[in-house]
Amino acid sequence: MAILVTRSSMPSLEEYIEEIRPIFESRHLTNMGPVHQKFQRQLEDYLGVPSVSLFTNGHLALETAVQALDLRRPGGEVITTPFTFVSTTHAIVRNGLKPVFCDIRESDYTMDPEKIEALITDRTVAIMPVHVYGNICDVDRIGAIARKHGLKVIYDGAHAFGETYRGTGVGAFGDATMFSFHATKVFNTVEGGAVAFTDERYAQALQELKNFGIHGGEDAAAVAGNAKMDEFRAAMGICNLRRMDRCIAGRKAAHDRYFQRLDGVAGLRLCPTQPDVTPNYAYLPVCFDPRIFGKDRDQVLEQLREQEIYGRRYFYPAVNDMTCYRELAGEPTPVARETSLRVLCLPLYEELTPAEVDRICDVILEK
Ligand SMILES: *Cc1c(COP(=O)(O)O)cnc(C)c1O
């Protein structure tokens, strides 16, 4: 049996049907209907944040957050990480802003706070770090730097669903945090996403900017597109939220088995869970040092593929090595580049059994 890198979390068909039955009765399919409102409240609760605004996907949530925070100005720069899914950078550039790439730290692959201040100029408007693999950025130091220089912080929290840092929901840090509910993420609404925020002033801006800029029913106050979440996705969200505990427990079991088998093997580097964070076990990244381990990342990927086991080079290439960003690459980011050449995300999902993890690890450890 083939093992894919992930497997979407889903409720039973019967449970989903029960959740969408009222939609068939009311014919209220979208436009912030009752299911949307219910899901939004449940999500605020679950994430431990004062407010969320729901979106049709995570990317548009991030793009709209940049607009809601009023960051768009000619020549404006946003300091961000090249070690991410390309969506993060696109959200900056599609808003007419320039990405300035800050290298990551080796310990957890998040933006290196030591390297941020050197990149700040009088054109900098914001910092956009990523809680990559669910590893929480140094929110304290990034927050202090932002306050000192009068910058906004938008976190790409696509990987950090449901996590807390020192007991606080991670969506409460910075000015805004995006979560993605894409089918491949820890929690999904098929496609979907949200912006979490604490300052209520952003509520109306987000609401208008995801709905054509319409202000008060008829007039448009801003030029904007459409990024609303519909009732069917919200219903999927309500169902999947109910099964989060099971989902995380299954992932944890597989994660722990990987650690038993691979942690401490010479030439392999696993990513330990962070001490102050309740983890969601979103990904299982392993870095391969070919000089010590004897095989490089791509050899391991190929050996796994021969056994119908599919890992993912996530993230490769680094964003500043991608064709569309080469001209904007700026200063080299050696840690991000080296990591992108070495890292492989192994299969991890709720139903992955310890026996399957053993099968995967046997292939990796084969000489
Ligand atoms: C998935 C992802 C996104 C985009 O989210 P979508 O819901 O797929 O639009 C953005 N950033 C990161 C880091 C992601 O992993």
Question: Rounded to two decimals, what is the model's pTM?
Answer: 0.97
Query: Does residue 296 register a pLDDT over 90?
Result: yes
pLDDT in tens, 87-110: 999 999 999 999 999 999 999 999
Name the average pLDDT for the chain.
Answer: 97
Give percent of the chain above pLDDT 90: 99
Query: Does residue 261 register a pLDDT over 90?
Result: yes
Assign 300 a pLDDT band (cuts: 50, 70, 90): very high
Q: Which two tokens stand for residue 126?
A: 């914001």
Q: Which atom of ligand 1 is nearest to the CA of 193?
A: 7
Q: Which two tokens stand for residue 236?
A: 């999927």
Query: Which pLDDT belongs to residue 150?
Result: 98
Reference 58, options 138, 159, 133; nearest CA is 159
Query: Does residue 273 register a pLDDT over 90?
Result: yes
Q: Is the CB of 158 under 6 A from ligand 1?
A: yes
pLDDT in tens, 23-35: 999 999 999 999 9
| CB 9 within 8 Å of CB 240 | yes
Q: How far is CA 29 from the centre of its chain?
A: 27
Ligand 1 mutation pick, 85, 89, 195, 280, max ligand atoms within 8 A of CB: 85
| CB 136 within 8 Å of CB 159 | no
C-alpha span between 32 and 30 (Å, rounded): 6
Q: Give start and end residues of each alpha helix (H) in 150-296.
A: 201-209, 231-242, 244-262, 290-293
Give percent of the chain above pLDDT 70: 100
Across 24-49, average pLDDT: 98
| CB 44 within 8 Å of CB 244 | no
Cα of 272 to ligand 1 centre, how many Å? 22
Query: Does residue 174 register a pLDDT over 90?
Result: yes
Q: Are strands 98-101 and 77-80 parallel, antiparallel or unpaired?
A: parallel
Q: Is the CB of 180 under 6 A from ligand 1?
A: yes
Assign 217 a pLDDT band (cuts: 50, 70, 90): confident
Query: Which pLDDT belongs to residue 367?
Result: 82
C-alpha span between 137 and 344 (Å, rounded): 21
Query: Does residue 1 register a pLDDT over 90?
Result: no
Query: Does residue 281 register a pLDDT over 90?
Result: yes
Cα of 185 to ligand 1 centre, how many Å? 8
Burial 264-288 (b: 16+ CB within 10 A, else e): eeeebbbbebbeebebbbbbbbbbb
- CA torsion 17→158→318→365, rounded to 10°? -70
Assign 156 a pLDDT band (cuts: 50, 70, 90): very high
Sorted by where each starts, the structural domains of the chain and their CATH numbers stand as 13-242 (3.40.640.10), 244-365 (3.90.1150.10)
Across 282-302, average pLDDT: 98
Q: Which two tokens stand for residue 18?
A: 């029960």
Query: Which pLDDT belongs to residue 254?
Result: 98
C-alpha span between 98 and 66 (Å, rounded): 12
Q: Which atom of ligand 1 is nearest to the CA of 192?
A: 7
Query: Does residue 233 register a pLDDT over 90?
Result: yes
pLDDT in tens, 305-318: 999 999 999 999 99
